[in-house]
Chains A and B, each alone.
Chain A
Amino acid sequence: MMPSVTGKTAVSVRLPLSFIGAGVVSLLLGQLVLLFHGALVMDMAFRSPGMWMAAHFLVLGWGMLVAMGTMYQLVPVTFQTPLYSERLGFIQFGITTAGVMLLALSLGFYPSLAREAGGLVLAGTLLFLFQMGLVLWRQKERDMISLFVSSALISLLATLLAGLILAVSISGAMKIFLDAIGAGFLYPINHEALFASHVLLGLVGWFTLLIMGFSYKMVPMFALSHGFSMMPSYWVYGLYTGGLLTTLAGIWMDTAGIIRIGFVLLLTGFSLFAFHISRILRKRMKKQLDPGFSFALLAIGGGWLIHLAGVMILLLPVSWKSDAFAVVVYGFVMIWVTFSIMGYLFKIIPFLWWTHRFSKQVGQDGVPTLKEMVDERSGIQVFLLLAVAVIGVMISMVEGWWFLFMVTQGLVVLSVLRYSQLLIGVLRK
């Protein structure tokens, strides 16, 4: 028996590139907002309009839109199952991008519009979940990657619902709604627990499970690794999702001991993930790894340090836990999520554009390799500068050094600008 490939799984390059373009613009906007609101960062005033705007540009605009775009490309080919509708993908792009931009801006300038903008984000995300849910449902042979991706999508839905309930509840409409359906006894809703769940489900559930799942696809593919066991991935999944659920339970039961157990489980799961990836890399045929891919691997090391820091803050009797957690969340978003995405994008964009421009010329002279599509030397410089700058920002947050923050955050903005320029350079090939 030789199973062969049938059915069209490749998606038009325009769809993922539209999401990625909007995502990179959002990354730049988010970093600029942080730069101009440096005083709020130094005061650790994260629950302020400027910080809400920056957070939503970075997490929804950058992280979520890019994740959606790359999923439109990767999910059908990885799972060898076609999309339900590419046209619906473009409609979803329009609705979600408009919603995310409006939401971020409204949180900063026009809070009264946040509900409508949030509705657009919700509608767009539901359409996305519908498309991805159908692909996963139709997939013939499910594996661990399907499990990670499905769980990430469920977490995305839960993140969105938690955010929506929080927004409605704060506005006072939730009490009216609960009274109307005879569930008034549920009021008042614990806003702190809801907010913590929203952040946890988004960062740990959606982004981390998604990056872990696709790392299991992309690491062996980019390193050409063969002959490794996938058995540890079952333990990674069990420990990490177990950690997520335990932490959620601890948050809602307001029991520090359970939260600590949850954090330790998350750290253990992530440690095993990092170890497993290192074992996969040992089995690689490709000795010299590309800069973008190496940066994504560096993000795993950084992600492990961030998880360790989270546990240490909980276990140590420190009086500044709230501020320390803010630094950990910043590190989680930048070092783990952003570095991973930036690193993988540095591989994915040349691939997308190569497929669009050169796939019909395979076998002819003058067709470049993927390495020749991107300025790798400049890429290394950008990644190094960004890594140093982000560490500088974190030190300035801990120490409250205004000057260091302005310099290093300025360097973050410059790095992102140069990174965008390098990606645009690929599209000129």
Chain B
Amino acid sequence: MELKDQVMSALKRVIDPELGVNVVDLGLIYQVNVDEDGNVSIRMTLTTPGCPLHDSISNGVRQAVMSVPEVKNVDVELVWEPAWTPERMTEEGRRRLGGI
């Protein structure tokens, strides 16, 4: 599996504790860049600006990605623009949220 796929797989383990859906299926991950030295940069958002969980989730993302053996460094940038919208959710995310 390529490193980027491993990173995405690790990100799917990060669950929003309020919604019970992982950050990838929620559409919170805007961009993932991986270089050949194992440096990963992630641009992500949250469902609402000023979400009280922003420290927990961004730290969770950092730790999950760092758990991938080939990753040497992770940079997480939390952004509010463009704002998150429900359209960014995957089909799986919608399905899980609809059941909540």
Contact = CB atoms under 8 A, between A and B. Distances in A.
B79 A285 contact: no
B100 A367 contact: no
Contact of A224 (B47, B57, B58, B82): B47
A363 B10 contact: yes
B90 interface: no
A217 B50 contact: yes
A10 B52 CA distance: 8
Interface stretch (A1-9, A317-325, A389-397): A1-9
A285 B20 CA distance: 13
A79 interface: yes
Interface residues of A, number: 38
Given A351-B52, A369-B18, A359 B81 contact: no
Contacts of B34: none
Interface in A408-429: none
Interface residues of B, number: 39
A362 interface: yes
B17 interface: yes
Contacts of A287: 98, 100
A362 B52 CA distance: 15
A359 B57 CA distance: 8
A19 B63 CA distance: 32
A226 B59 contact: no
A78 interface: yes
A77 B52 contact: yes
Given A286-B19, A363-B67, A369-B18, A77 B57 contact: no
B64 interface: yes
B19 A224 contact: yes
A73 B55 CA distance: 13
Contacts, number: 100
A235 interface: no
A270 interface: no
Interface in A41-98: 73-74, 77-80
B92 to A, nearest CB: 14
B17 A358 contact: yes
A4 B20 contact: no
A2 B81 contact: yes
B79 A73 contact: no
B15 A369 contact: yes
B97 interface: yes
Contacts of A368: 17
Interface string B30-73: 00000000000001000111111111111111011001000000
Interface in A323-372: 351, 354-355, 358-360, 362-364, 367-371
Contacts of B43: 2
A203 B51 CA distance: 28
B14 A362 contact: yes
Given A3-B80, A369-B15, A363 B64 contact: yes
Contacts of B56: 355, 359, 362
B80 to A, nearest CB: 5
A263 B82 CA distance: 42
A354 B15 CA distance: 13
A79 to B, nearest CB: 7
A364 B58 CA distance: 14
B15 A362 contact: yes
B20 A73 contact: no
A10 B51 CA distance: 11
15 contacts: A9-B55, A10-B55, A79-B50, A221-B47, A222-B18, A226-B85, A226-B86, A351-B18, A355-B55, A362-B56, A362-B64, A363-B14, A369-B17, A369-B20, A371-B20
Interface of A: 1-5, 9-10, 73-74, 77-80, 217, 220-222, 224, 226-227, 285-288, 351, 354-355, 358-360, 362-364, 367-371
8 closest Cβ contacts across the A-B interface? A362-B60, A363-B64, A359-B56, A2-B79, A5-B78, A78-B50, A363-B14, A369-B20
